């Protein structure tokens, strides 16, 4: 079995084995198809009959597939080595040509949105649009926010040298960060350094946090300028499109009302005490009066530092998936056997982990930065959850494979929970079980409470940028500290160094407003997992149907498949009750394993 260092993906299937030339060929063919499409349909969408709409959808599917293959090839190649100028140049070229193609197609969405509801309903009922029906229906939600065709074309083309370019610069800067650490011969990647914050050794955590802060310092002004520029750019877009708030466009894309999202955020913020309870308990377990920000992910026992080789991680994850449903395990295994995973940490590689759906005619890909920690095993399970979701939804087609972001974390969190159970089952030692349960509650806190606190930071930053103008590094750092202090209360000491740690978070740059979807998805997935524990094998078909449905239905309709009522105002509190129950499990484990520390 290979070690993680040998696990690299093969991107050639995306471009039919032709490399960069294949990506450019696909873009060229897409451009020709776009010209043909525009000649056939521009100014004529209102005249389409049912057969005409079906033909238009089929043509858009074909050219979207070509654009998607080229775009994913360039993006994935760039993500594994952002320092290679050739990779950056290809990505830029693909983005520029993709934008040119997109401008040729803008007329369709504008003309489609302009149709009256009665005519649109007739066309939506037509045969041949089954795999685009929800997409077409959802696209009409943007009617109040669309501009004229010339204006839309200008915004699309300028975006390549505007917001996309700034986001790329941010990604290159963060990917290039290396952290000099005590005891290491060479500086390590930022992700590797951050993983050391899970060490049970307090001195390791302190020196690592200080080194990360020092590494972030030289580029702070540049990253702050990038963030300021993108916030101003978004404010301009929102004003032109008449969105009432900075988060409204994200909510619309997520098919979630502003009111429902605010209800989620309010529910979580009203129960920050859950996080504070855990951090107060953790201080006792670590033998300190109060933990510092860099102690939050610390291992509470030495066993937390368990090293899990790649081949063992693979076996654990696949066993969990197969045990739930053999077909799910088979789908997950295809990522390993087909060359669809890139696992090792490398210089210049993008940090973190993600799954790229690519296009339905191709296989999804998973990127990791595997450092052999137990947390990495759960990350593998998490990203493979995205992967099987993408793979099972491929039959829905290019317009309905993706779910809204609010449901995008459902399969990933579910898969992670399955694997967590496996890790717990193979851990009889009370100390080690305490370690695992601690990781579990910390994962929930990070995904639910920390993400909502990060959303609040974005709210403070975007609001201040719109009201006050450009924000200084100190302004941005102060708002970050304010949002974190609200969540942590007196349970955690926020150090001066931590004030600048907002500056490496890619979500703020690439997808403003995204982070609350993690909390949404976590609470939803936990509720779905509870349905599984109650229903056992009888629940499996409904869950697989949910994954295979992709984004072909609204979030509420998708929830109904597995017996979840997302329209229920009490839903979020019931999900938070599950998080609190998880905390109580961790507290009980602490009393059993360390009664002298917690005063049991």
The token duo for 9 is 């993906």
pLDDT in the model for residue 303? 53
Sign for the pseudo-dihedral over CA of 317, 322, 323, 328: positive
Cα-Cα-Cα-Cα dihedral of 482, 488, 490, 492, to 10°?
-100
Give the pLDDT of residue 358: 97
Structural element, H or E, at residue 341 = strand 341-342
What is the average per-residue pLDDT within 409-417? 91
Contact 329, 321 (CB under 8 A): yes
One-letter-per-residue 3-state SS of 127-176? CCCCCCHHHHHHHHHHHHHCCCHHHHHHHHHHHHHCHHHHHHHHHHHHHC
Helices (H), 201-325: 202-216, 220-241, 248-253, 258-269, 273-286, 310-324
Q: What is the pLDDT of residue 319?
A: 96
pLDDT, position 473: 98
Model confidence at 1, pLDDT cuts 50, 70, 90, reads: very low
Angle between helix axes 310-324 and 374-392 (nearest 10 degrees) is 50
Report the sign of the C-alpha dihedral through residues 339, 340, 345, 346, in that order. positive
Average pLDDT, the chain: 92
pLDDT tens track for 19-41: 999 999 999 999 999 999 999 99
Give me the residue spans of the domains in the chain: 4-161, 181-186+197-296+456-510, 305-431+516-598
Neighbours of 17 (CB within 10 A): 9
Other Cβ atoms within 10 Å of 407 Cβ, number? 28
Q: What is the 3-state secondary structure (H, E, C) of 43-88?
A: CCHHHCCHHHHHHHHHHHHHHHHHHHHHHHHHHHHHHHCCCCHHHH
pLDDT at site 258: 84
Class level of CATH domain 4-161: mainly alpha
* 194-232: pLDDT as tens digits: 989 988 899 999 999 999 999 999 999 999 999 999 999
The whole-number pLDDT of residue 224 equals: 98
Give the pLDDT mean for 352-359.
95
The CATH number for 305-431+516-598, chosen from 1.10.1370.30, 1.10.150.240, 1.10.260.40, 3.40.50.2300, is 1.10.1370.30
Between the two ends of the chain, the Cα-to-Cα distance in Å is 45
Whether 525 has a pLDDT exceeding 50, the answer reads yes
Tell me which H or E stretch contains 354. strand 354-356
Q: Which residues contact 452 (CB under 8 A, 6 or more apart)?
A: 264, 265, 268, 269, 487, 515, 516, 519
Which helix (H) or strand (E) segment is 95 a member of?
helix 85-114
For residue 165, give Cα distances in angstroms to 20, 154, 158, 552, 565.
20, 16, 10, 32, 40
Q: 164, 257, 178: which is closest to 211 by C-alpha?
A: 178
- On the 0-12 / 13-18 / 19+ scale of CB atoms within 10 A, 510 is middle
Q: What is the dihedral of CA 479, 481, 486, 490, to 10 degrees?
A: -160
Average pLDDT for 35-51: 95
- For 224-277, how does the pLDDT look when each residue is reduced to its tens digit (9 = 90+)? 999 999 999 999 999 999 999 999 999 998 888 888 888 889 999 999 999 999
> What is the average pLDDT across 122-131?
91
Q: What is the mean pLDDT of residues 362-376?
A: 93
- Residues of the chain above pLDDT 70, percent: 99
Q: What is the mean pLDDT of residues 302-310?
A: 73
What is the average per-residue pLDDT within 520-528?
A: 87
Q: Give Dmax over CA atoms of the chain in angstroms.
A: 78
pTM of the model: 0.79
* Interval 393-410: pLDDT, tens: 999 999 999 988 788 888
Q: For residues 457 and 516, what is the distance between their CA atoms, to the nearest angstrom? A: 11
Please tell me the distance from the alpha carbon of residue 104 to that of residue 42, in angstroms, as a whole number: 9
Instruction: Give pLDDT, residue 454.
Output: 97
pLDDT reported for residue 2? 54
pLDDT tens for each residue of 64-79 = 999 999 999 999 999 9
């Amino acid at each position: 079995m290979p070690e993680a260092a040998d696990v690299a993906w093969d991107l050639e299937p995306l471009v039919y084995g032709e490399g960069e030339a294949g990506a450019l060929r696909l873009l060229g063919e897409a451009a020709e198809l776009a010209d043909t499409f525009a000649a056939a349909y521009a100014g004529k969408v209102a005249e389409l009959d049912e057969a005409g709409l079906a033909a238009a959808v089929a043509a858009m599917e074909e050219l979207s597939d070509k654009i998607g293959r080229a775009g994913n090839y360039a993006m994935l190649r760039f993500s594994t080595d952002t320092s290679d100028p050739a990779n950056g140049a290809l990505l830029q070229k693909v983005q520029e040509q993709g934008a040119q193609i997109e401008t040729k197609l803008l007329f369709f969405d504008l003309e489609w949105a302009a149709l009256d509801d009665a005519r649109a309903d007739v066309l939506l009922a037509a045969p041949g649009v089954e795999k685009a029906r929800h997409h077409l229906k959802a696209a009409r939600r943007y009617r109040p926010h669309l501009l004229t065709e010339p204006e839309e074309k200008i915004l699309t083309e300028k975006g390549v040298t505007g917001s996309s370019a700034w986001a790329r610069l941010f990604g290159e800067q963060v990917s290039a960060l290396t952290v000099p650490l005590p005891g290491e011969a060479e500086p390590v990647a930022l992700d590797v350094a951050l993983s050391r914050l899970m060490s049970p050794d307090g001195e390791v955590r302190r020196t690592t946090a200080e080194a990360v802060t020092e590494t972030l310092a030289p580029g702070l002004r540049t990253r702050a300028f990038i963030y300021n520029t993108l916030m101003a750019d978004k404010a301009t877009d929102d004003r032109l499109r008449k969105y009432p708030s900075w988060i409204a466009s994200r909510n619309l894309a997520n098919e979630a009302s502003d009111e429902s999202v605010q209800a989620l955020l309010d529910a979580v913020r009203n129960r920050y005490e859950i996080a504070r309870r855990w951090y107060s308990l953790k201080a006792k377990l670590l033998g300190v009066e109060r933990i510092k920000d860099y102690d939050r992910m610390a291992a509470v026992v030495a066993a937390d530092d368990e090293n899990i080789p790649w081949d063992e991680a693979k076996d654990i994850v696949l066993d969990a998936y197969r045990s739930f449903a053999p077909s799910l395990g088979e789908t997950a295994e295809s990522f390993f056997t087909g060359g669809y995973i890139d696992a090792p940490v490398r210089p210049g590689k993008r940090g973190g982990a993600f799954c790229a759906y690519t296009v339905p005619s191709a296989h999804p890909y998973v990127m990791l930065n595997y450092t052999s920690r137990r947390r990495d095993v759960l990350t593998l399970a998490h990203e493979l959850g995205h992967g099987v979701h993408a793979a099972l939804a491929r039959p829905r087609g290019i317009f309905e494979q993706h779910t809204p972001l609010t449901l995008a974390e459902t399969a990933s969190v579910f898969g992670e929970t399955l694997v967590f159970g496996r890790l717990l089952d193979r851990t009889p030692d009370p100390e080690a079980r305490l370690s695992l349960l601690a990781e579990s509650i910390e994962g929930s806190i990070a995904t639910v409470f920390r993400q909502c606190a990060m959303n609040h930071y974005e709210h403070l930053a975007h609001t201040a940028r719109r009201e006050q103008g450009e924000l200084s590094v100190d302004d941005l750092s102060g708002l970050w500290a304010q949002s974190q202090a609200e969540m942590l209360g007196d349970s955690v000491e926020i150090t001066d160094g931590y004030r600048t740690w907002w500056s490496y978070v890619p979500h703020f740059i690439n997808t403003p407003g995204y982070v609350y979807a993690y909390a949404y998805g976590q609470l939803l997935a936990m509720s779905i997992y509870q349905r599984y524990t109650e229903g056992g094998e009888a629940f499996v078909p409904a869950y697989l149907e949910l994954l295979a449905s992709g984004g072909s239905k609204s979030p509420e309709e998708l929830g109904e498949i597995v017996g979840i009522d997302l329209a229920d105002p009490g839903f979020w509190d019931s999900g938070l009750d599950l998080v609190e129950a998880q905390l109580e499990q961790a507290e009980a484990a602490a009393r059993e394993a360390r009664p002298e520390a917690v005063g049991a």
